Structure 1
Amino acid sequence: MTGRSVLRRYLVVSFLTWLPVGLMMPVMVLLMTSRGLSLAQVGLVTTVFSAVTIALELPTGGLADVVGRRKVLALSAGFTVAALVMMAMSTTVWMFLVTGVLKGVARALSSGPATSWYVDTLHEIEGRDADLKPGLARGGAMESAALCLGVLAGGFVPLLLGPGGPILPLAEPLLRPGGPISPLAVPPLLGAVAAVVLLVVVVLAMPEPSHARRSLGGVLREVPRTVAGGLRMAVRGALLRRLMLAAAASGVALAAVELLTPGRLAELAGTAELGGAAYAVVAALGFAGSAAGSSIAPWAARAAGGSARGAAAGAVLTALSIGGLAATAGLDGVAGLASAGLAYVVMFAGLGVAGMLCLEMTHNAVTAAQRNTVTSTSSLSLQAGAGLSNLGFGALATSAGMAAAWSVAAGLVLVSALLFARMPALGARETAPVPLEAGQRPAG
């Protein structure tokens, strides 16, 4: 293989890895509520997903080092197929909880193997000095493209198949509104098909590069040390501790909109199918807003007088946009749809600015020996913030309304902006090396 062919395969795998997620995203909440789940129960399901992902993220990173990237990514694709088929067929909260577990396993398994495969293979072909930035940047672009196209398709397919839709006469024998097979269940099934394609591509087009593999016993011994070391660094380092809390606040913001916005848009649009289509458009624009926020992050840092101040500005913008959702929760019709869409896009732009600058500060605060562990800990913080928020916001929205839940989320994110005030100077590296066996790298 050549570097160009490796890049092409990496881009295809990156696209197919996130396409199933995009397809199921706009209908996930609506499908569960249409099957009789309350918002509190939906929050419980998503919390289970987050908990499983948190528990398995670091261990599955070690597993990829032992058995190889291709096998772990293929296993992730298999779990994705099972999860999305289960989602389409689920009719009770217990079935959706099983779906959440399967999705969490799939997400944890897919975290990192494709990128590691690309880096390992390119190093083998072009040497350790190979330029990774262009390929990794294009891989990220393919992931965003997959999410954007996936949410648009996943949102509009139920509309085409629903009452009055142009495809209904052809699909009516197979689709039963409210039953196990309904228009809202079709996007997860399409996501399962995409995951099958991913499985085939991974098995046939991702030859495993040669690399030193560790024994399973060695990995099992290292994983607890890795987890403990990452937590120790995050707790003891003043700068990293603040950045981990900021990541948790980002999880709060994401949970607030991803859990409650689909139902809000369905209420405004009049039907679940129209709500799914509206959410698809809003989510696609949100991904564009996130990309724009990341792009302008360097400018925001310069304009604000530093990365910490730029990240604080991004957090404030995020909080204000969620507050806008709360303030306009009483609007109806087009005005309500427009205000919700605008707030969603602005929120993702704010998260893009804050997230990119926090990532920069995190990498500047650690050495290469600790980089994977710390970034994995940051991901765990985000998942933890989202998981707890899904549980709390679902119950709060059920008892007090969406405006109350969004108001609480806005307040928490606004308070998180204070984390960037008088940030400790980077100076000397403030983390201690994680104990590793000779020749090993941190799992993450």
Structure 2
Amino acid sequence: MTAPSALRRYLLVCFLTWLPLGLMMASMVLLLAGRGLSLAQIGLVVTVFSIVTVGLELPTGGLADVVGRRVVLAASAAFLAAALVLMSVATTFWMFLVSGVLKGVARALSSGPATSWYVDTLHRIEGPGADLKPGLARGGAVESVSLAAGVLAGGALPLLVPPELMFPLAAPSLVGALAAAVLLVVVLLALPEPGRGAPGGALTGPGRGAPGGALSEPARAPGSLGSVLRDVPARVASGVRLAVGGPVLRRLMLAAGSSGVMLMSIELLTPGRLAELAGTAEQGSMAYAVVAALGFAGSATGSALAPRVARLAGGSAKGAIAGVVLAALSVGALAATAGLGGAAGLLTAGAAYVALFVGHSVAGLLCLEMTHNAVTAAERTTVSSTASLALQSGGILGNLTLAALATQAGVAASWAVAATVMLASALLFVRMPAPIGSSPAPVLPARSGSG
């Protein structure tokens, strides 16, 4: 396999992974409400999804490092297809709760393996010094494009489906299930498990950030089911020790938690704010779909620009600072304009939303590169799952605090707190240590077409 071929396969999987989630995004809450669930029950379904995701992040990351990326990605696609089919036909609270559990399992399984597959494959083709930024940037851009296309299509589908054919709000989740089934087939056919050594199958030299300069592992076939299950906890423990004990990864985990707090403030408060500005819940839903699509377009732009930002700023850590500051200022702008109404309120909210996701995507892509440069293939997906766990944990913290603050003091106060947390996290990238066991990776010019 060549590097361009690996990139094409990675981009296809990125697109198909996020398309089902984009399709269901605009209609999910309305579907649950239309089937008779109260707001409290809808909140419980979402909370169960988050708890399942957080609880399984590390075990599934360790599983991917033990049994391989393709198996775990295929299982994720299967769980997601089942969850969305159940959601489209569910009529009771308990059915939706089971669907939330299945979605949580799918989300945890999908956290990291695709990127780990691409990084491992590129390292095997080009060696451990391969420049990761261009491919990861394109992957992030494709994910955002997929979400934008999905949320727009998912918002329009209920308007196109005749009510006598099916419940219109169930159409997006059913189409999402079909997209997940396509993802399952693509993963099985297009993602051969990469070796985890250097080109030619040899072991690499000192690992980037591996304790004591440990050697990267070559690919190995898993043994019995018992040996696999015994290996997963050890791999999880190793990855957690690396994430918590490593000076680079520890900072990156804290940054991910801060991003979780900020993103939760957006997910919690933006739909209600836009509904208030638009006038009705239905118009607010359409406004949210449009603004969310614009935000995903901003995210795609940020991913494409990340290599150039890093080059101009003088390094990935400094580029991440620029992205974090832009995101924090954008949330601050949402807080400052929370009192505006009508068209002015919609325009300022939309502009701030786009700028926020440009900045967040720049920082997120460069954090992803720094994370992968600080680990070896042996614990790559486990550490990626640890970062996702930190993000989800920050979101749970934001969910528990910012909603109550918004109720007591208003939306502007919650956004101001989120902006402050995000801005403070920029300090984590100041004088970022170099990965243990390696010299800092050079910031190379962006390749053609990478932004």
- TM bracket (short chain): 0.7 to 0.9
Question: Which range moves more in the overlay, 269-278 or 408-417?
Answer: 269-278
The C-alpha deviation readout for 1:23-66, integer Å capped at 9, x for no partner, is 0122334444565543x665544343233223223333444466
Question: Which range moves more in the overlay, 399-408 or 208-217?
Answer: 208-217
1:247 maps to 256
The C-alpha deviation readout for 1:338-370, integer Å capped at 9, x for no partner, is 111111111111112222333344345445655
Distance between the aligned counterparts of 2:247 and 2:66, measured in 1? 34
The 3-state SS of whatever aligns with 2:27 is: helix
The C-alpha deviation readout for 1:355-411, integer Å capped at 9, x for no partner, is 233334434544565544433322221122123323433444455543333232222
Tell me the TM-score normalised to structure 1 length. 0.77
1:191 maps to 176
Amino acid in structure 2 at the alignment position of 1:57: E
2:290 maps to 281
Amino acid in structure 2 at the alignment position of 1:387: I
Q: Are 1:365 and 1:429, in contact at CA under 8 Å, matched by a contact in 2? A: no
Distance of aligned partners of 1:18 and 1:349 in 2 relative to their CA distance in 1, 3 Å threshold: same
Distance between the aligned counterparts of 2:46 and 2:119, measured in 1? 32
Distance between the aligned counterparts of 1:370 and 1:65, measured in 2? 6
Question: Are 1:212 and 2:220 an aligned pair?
Answer: yes
Distance of aligned partners of 1:196 and 1:277 in 2 relative to their CA distance in 1, 3 Å threshold: same
The C-alpha deviation readout for 1:287-318, integer Å capped at 9, x for no partner, is 22223223433554465565444433322221
1:77 maps to 77
1:351 maps to 360
2:351 maps to 342
Amino acid in structure 2 at the alignment position of 1:357: L
Distance of aligned partners of 1:172 and 1:281 in 2 relative to their CA distance in 1, 3 Å threshold: same
Question: Are 1:99 and 2:99 an aligned pair?
Answer: yes
1:425 maps to 433
1:172 maps to 163
Question: Are 1:27 and 2:33 an aligned pair?
Answer: no
Amino acid in structure 1 at the alignment position of 2:164: P
Q: Are 1:43 and 1:393, in contact at CA under 8 Å, matched by a contact in 2? A: no
How far residue 90 of structure 1 moved from its aligned partner, in angstroms, is 4.7
Tell me the TM-score normalised to structure 2 length. 0.76
1:311 maps to 320
Q: Are 1:48 and 1:387, in contact at CA under 8 Å, matched by a contact in 2? A: no
Match for residue 223 of structure 1 among 232, 241, 262: 232
Amino acid in structure 2 at the alignment position of 1:425: P
The C-alpha deviation readout for 1:78-119, integer Å capped at 9, x for no partner, is 221222233344566554433321111111223345556677
The answer for unaligned runs of 5 or more in structure 1 is 162-166, 176-180, 431-444
How far residue 191 of structure 1 moved from its aligned partner, in angstroms, is 0.9
Q: Are 1:41 and 1:394, in contact at CA under 8 Å, matched by a contact in 2? A: no
Amino acid in structure 2 at the alignment position of 1:186: A
1:232 maps to 241
Distance of aligned partners of 1:409 and 1:29 in 2 relative to their CA distance in 1, 3 Å threshold: farther
1:442 maps to none
The answer for unaligned runs of 5 or more in structure 2 is 196-218, 439-451
Distance between the aligned counterparts of 1:139 and 1:293, measured in 2? 12
Match for residue 263 of structure 1 among 261, 272, 287: 272
Amino acid in structure 1 at the alignment position of 2:170: A
Q: Are 1:27 and 1:187, in contact at CA under 8 Å, matched by a contact in 2? A: yes
Identity of aligned residues (%): 67
Q: Are 1:50 and 1:104, in contact at CA under 8 Å, matched by a contact in 2? A: yes
Distance between the aligned counterparts of 2:402 and 2:164, measured in 1? 38
Question: Which range moves more in the overlay, 310-319 or 336-345?
Answer: 310-319
Question: Which range moves more in the overlay, 1-10 or 286-295?
Answer: 1-10
Question: Are 1:414 and 2:423 an aligned pair?
Answer: yes
Distance between the aligned counterparts of 2:27 and 2:180, measured in 1? 17
Distance of aligned partners of 1:393 and 1:41 in 2 relative to their CA distance in 1, 3 Å threshold: farther
User: Which structure 2 residues correspond to residues 287-306 of structure 1 after superposition, within 5 A?
Assistant: 287-301=296-310, 304=313, 306=315
How far residue 250 of structure 1 moved from its aligned partner, in angstroms, is 1.0
2:340 maps to 331
Q: Are 1:315 and 1:350, in contact at CA under 8 Å, matched by a contact in 2? A: yes
Distance between the aligned counterparts of 1:188 and 1:246, measured in 2? 32
Question: Are 1:46 and 2:54 an aligned pair?
Answer: no
Distance of aligned partners of 1:54 and 1:37 in 2 relative to their CA distance in 1, 3 Å threshold: same
Superposition CA RMSD, Å? 3.7
Distance between the aligned counterparts of 1:115 and 1:359, measured in 2? 9
Distance between the aligned counterparts of 1:115 and 1:420, measured in 2? 23
How far residue 188 of structure 1 moved from its aligned partner, in angstroms, is 1.6
Q: Are 1:29 and 1:263, in contact at CA under 8 Å, matched by a contact in 2? A: no
Amino acid in structure 2 at the alignment position of 1:227: V
Q: How many pairs are equivalent?
A: 412
Distance between the aligned counterparts of 1:101 and 1:136, measured in 2? 29
Distance between the aligned counterparts of 2:141 and 2:119, measured in 1? 17
Distance of aligned partners of 1:399 and 1:226 in 2 relative to their CA distance in 1, 3 Å threshold: farther
Distance between the aligned counterparts of 1:360 and 1:123, measured in 2? 13
Distance between the aligned counterparts of 1:5 and 1:420, measured in 2? 34
The 3-state SS of whatever aligns with 2:433 is: coil
Distance of aligned partners of 1:412 and 1:66 in 2 relative to their CA distance in 1, 3 Å threshold: closer
Distance between the aligned counterparts of 1:263 and 1:119, measured in 2? 40
Q: Are 2:41 and 2:93, in contact at CA under 8 Å, matched by a contact in 1? A: yes
